[in-house]
Amino acid sequence: MELGTRNYTKEQIQTLQAAFMSKVYTWMSGGLAITGLIAMWVASISGIELMIQENIMLFYGLIIGEILLVGYLISMINRISAQTAGIIFTAYAAINGLTLSVVFLAYTSASIASTFFVTAGTFAIMSIYGYYTKKDLTSWGNLLFMALIGIIIASVVNFFMQSEMLYWLVTYAGVLIFVGLTAYDTQKIKRMSTASEVGSEQEAKGAIVGALMLYLDFINLFLLLLRILGDRK
């Protein structure tokens, strides 16, 4: 098998893949930690939290800023340095912490903690499956992407309809979609590890992009499970 410009044995490939995934999980964990800490900090300071809640323009401005950062990172990844990519990922995680701070006001701390551990366990199981399975999950990608588009459209429609049945349908379907995406993305990222030379700038950027993919899977899975398992204040 070939990795970058050199030939490696199967055992060496497995070792290099494990090392690459370790970098991905490190970046992802760091992003989650930043998001969680900032969300808790903002929720503990009522002045900042109220400013975000009551200023609709600020709240949506933060969300638009997140979308722009992700879009820029994905579209410009081949043109920017690994250091810049890392800064953008960190900034995105921090801004996401600001917008997710409302979660700490809507739900009890105990239910947030318990849901986090359920999410972490589910994520770990599916990520391990995606990493070790011999089954090609490529076919999952198109189905999951179409299903994701479907629940996004349904969510927009339900914003106006306010249907409780549709709300729960979207919630449970979303959980299944992001459970599947966790396995699919893990396998996809594992394959990405063979696309760059070990220790190269390209490999470093690939690890950050992979971390972003899994970070988004985790956050969305957590928020959907929180709808089901969370206790509102």
Percentage, residues of the chain above pLDDT 90: 61
Q: In total, how many domains does the chain have?
A: 1
| Alpha helices per DSSP H over the chain | 10-44, 46-54, 56-76, 82-99, 101-106, 109-132, 138-161, 164-192, 201-229
Is residue 1 included in any domain, yes or no? no
Count of alpha carbons within 13 angstroms of residue 68, beta-carbon side:
7
The domain of 12 spans: 8-229
d(CA 228, CA 212): 25
> Which residue type sits at 8?
Y
State whether residue 136 is helix, strand or coil: coil
Whether 62 has a pLDDT exceeding 90, the answer reads no
pLDDT of 33 strictly over 80: yes
Torsion over CA: 144, 149, 152, 154 (sign): negative
> Which range among 2-6, 30-34, 93-97, 207-211 shows the weakest confidence by mean pLDDT?
2-6
The answer to whether residue 195 sits within a structural domain is yes
Is 33 inside any structural domain?
A: yes
Mean predicted lDDT score pLDDT of the chain: 89
* CA Rg value for the chain: 19
Within-domain flag for 134: yes
Q: Is residue 3 part of a domain?
A: no
Q: Which residues of 140-150 are buried (b: 16+ CB within 10 A; e: fewer)?
A: beeebeebbee
Tokens in use for 163?
């249907």
**Apex 71 CA angle, 78 and 209, nearest 5:** 55
What is the DSSP secondary-structure string of 56-110? HHHHHHHHHHHHHHHHHHHHHTTTS-HHHHHHHHHHHHHHHHHHTHHHHHHB-HH
| 152 assigned to some structural domain | yes
pLDDT of residue 82: 94
- 111-155 pLDDT, tens digit per residue, is 999 999 999 999 999 999 999 999 999 989 889 999 999 999 999
pLDDT at 1: 39
The Cα–Cα gap between 6 and 10 comes to 13
- Could you tell me which residues are beta bridge partners of residue 3? 6
Chain segment 174-204, per-residue pLDDT in tens: 999 999 999 999 999 998 887 777 778 889 9
Distance CA 44, CA 101 (A): 9
- Between CA 80 and CA 69 the distance in angstroms is 13
In a domain, 2, yes or no: no
In a domain, 41, yes or no: yes
Over residues 100-114, the mean pLDDT reads 88
